[in-house]
Amino acid sequence: MEAQVALLLSRLSLRCNVSSLAEVSGSISERLAALQDVDSPYLESYGSISGSKPFWGLYCPFKYLKWAANFYVDALLLHLFKADVQKPSTLRVTTGDRVQ
Query: The domain containing residue 14 runs over which residues?
Result: 2-99
Alpha carbon distance 53, 62 (integer Å):
10
> What's the structural domain count of the chain?
1
Q: What is the pLDDT of residue 85?
A: 83
Q: What is the pLDDT of residue 1?
A: 85
31-39 — which CB contacts under 8 Å span 24+ positions?
31/2, 32/2, 32/3, 32/6, 32/72, 32/75, 36/69, 36/72, 37/64
Q: What is the pLDDT of residue 98?
A: 54
pLDDT by position in tens, the chain (length 100): 899 999 999 999 999 999 999 999 999 999 999 888 899 899 988 989 988 888 899 989 999 988 889 999 999 999 889 888 887 666 565 666 554 5
